[in-house]
Amino acid sequence: MRRSKMIAILLSVVILPLWLACRTHERAEYTNQEKAPTANTEKEVPGTDKESDLNPVSAQMMIDDVTIGHHVAGDGTIAAADQGDDFAPGETVNVTMKVADAPAGSVVRVLWYGPGETKINEDSKTVEAGAQYLPFQADTTSWKKGDYRAEVWVGDEKVNTQEFQVVDKDKAGK
């Protein structure tokens, strides 16, 4: 009897502090998820100590349905018939994403890279309250044929990459 009481007390002394520490950590992560990421970096930063540091899972959950294509519909989406990753020089590249789960005030950024990993451009937009989709565009007028990519960032987390090509006009999509 004395032995079982001792074990129960010992377990309480060891498990209770661990359980409380885990609950405090969970609450801190939940609070970080509710904050709108307002600062962006071009490099992922480990940890979540600063306001601009996002939990990677939280950042991934803010952005859905990243799509690349030729035309954006009025609701901010790209219809299946307009999706594609081959563009002629001078054609506009559209990247849209669902941001309904991102807190208002979150800054979403798209970095555009070209052949040789050369950064061509970047664009950032702030998620407005009630926004469902956020579109980004790039004009390819001065771009040479080759492989390109668009990286989508929220805070210090890269959440998506869309790869595409600039090709001869007869090989491009719509």
Residues 11 and 86 occupy one common structural domain: no
Are the beta carbons of 157 and 59 closer than 8 angstroms? yes
The count of domains in the chain is 2
Residues 25 and 94 occupy one common structural domain: no
Residues 99 and 147 occupy one common structural domain: yes
Which residue's entry shows tokens 């990243």? 66
pLDDT at 135: 97
Separation CA 12–CA 6 (nearest Å): 10
Residues 61 and 23 occupy one common structural domain: no
Separation CA 90–CA 172 (nearest Å): 11
pLDDT at 34: 45
pLDDT at 1: 60
Phi, psi of 74 (to 5 degrees): -60, -30
pLDDT at 33: 43
Domain that holds residue 68: 56-171
List the CATH number of the domain containing 85.
2.60.40.2550
Residues 24 and 66 occupy one common structural domain: no
Separation CA 25–CA 66 (nearest Å): 31
Instruction: Walk along the chain (174 residues) and give the pLDDT tens digit of each residue.
Output: 666 666 666 555 555 555 555 544 433 333 444 445 555 555 555 554 555 567 888 888 899 999 999 999 999 999 999 999 999 999 999 999 999 999 999 999 999 999 999 999 999 999 999 999 999 999 999 999 999 999 999 988 999 999 999 999 888 875
Residue spans of alpha helices (H) in the chain: 2-34, 56-62
Residues 70 and 146 occupy one common structural domain: yes
Residues 19 and 88 occupy one common structural domain: no
Residues 60 and 129 occupy one common structural domain: yes
pTM above 0.95, yes or no: no
Residue 43 within any structural domain of the chain: no
